[in-house]
Amino acid sequence: MNLTLNVNGRAVDVDAEPHDMLVDVLRDQVGLTGPRVTCGVGLCGTCTVLLDGEPVSGCILMAPLAQGKEITTIEGLPEDDEVVASFDRNHAFQCGYCIPGMVLTARDMIDKGHACSREEIREGLGGNLCRCGCYLKIIEAVEEAAQ
């Protein structure tokens, strides 16, 4: 099936079947490697992308469901994004594998006013796993970016 997807502000034509998940289409056809597949069942958050500004798991999103939505990957955030800068300042990562998902999830929380307390930040990031265990610094980075 031919689909037109709006990715990071531009329209891209892809060839995807319903059994193709959005994350694979973005990586293999659009060339965006920010979203990564790890668990493949919606649990860990490394495949996070924003659909109309809301985080979703790209690993379990049948590609045609993204039609007509604005898809944002980590590559689509502006160079000087405040959340990215705050992660940088706080050294809130080790290997960086989970970071695109963490940043996009935090971006949504901050934009919607759901990062007002540490408790709220912990809860909002609860579905994003960091194998390097950088949680404390990640929470600090989001807290700082939210201010």
Partner 1 sequence: MTWHLPTSVDDVVRTRAERPEAPIVAGGTFLGILVRQGLVEADEWISLQRVTELTRMHSAGDLSVGAMVTHRRLELDDTVRTIWPGVAAAFKAVASPRVRNRATMGGVLADADYASDPPSMLVASNAVAEIASVRGTRRVPVEDLIIGHYSTSMEEDELITRVVVPRPTGAAVYRKLRTRSQEDRPASSVAAVVHGETVRVVVGAVSDRPYHFADVCSQWRPGDLDSAREIGEEYASRIDYIDDNRGSAAYRRHVVGVEVRRALMAVAR
Q: Which residues bind partner 1 (CB under 8 A)?
A: 1, 17-19, 21, 40-43, 45, 48, 51, 54-57, 59-62, 64-65, 67-68, 105, 108, 123-124, 126-128
| Site of interaction with ligand FAD (CB under 6 A) | 41-43, 60
15 contact choice in ligand FAD, partner 1, ligand FES, none (CB below 5 to 8 Å, kind-dependent) = none
C-alpha–C-alpha distance, residues 70 and 66, integer Å: 8
Which amino acid, residue 32? L
56 contact choice in ligand FAD, ligand FES, partner 1, none (CB below 5 to 8 Å, kind-dependent) = partner 1
Output helix, strand, coil percentages for the chain, rounded to the nearest 5.
40, 15, 45
C-alpha–C-alpha distance, residues 54 and 22, integer Å: 15
Torsion from C-alpha of 120, 126, 132, 138, nearest 10 degrees: -20
Region binding ligand FES by CB under 6 A among candidate stretches 6-14, 35-43, 67-75, 117-125: 35-43
59 lies in the site for ligand FES, by CB under 6 A: yes
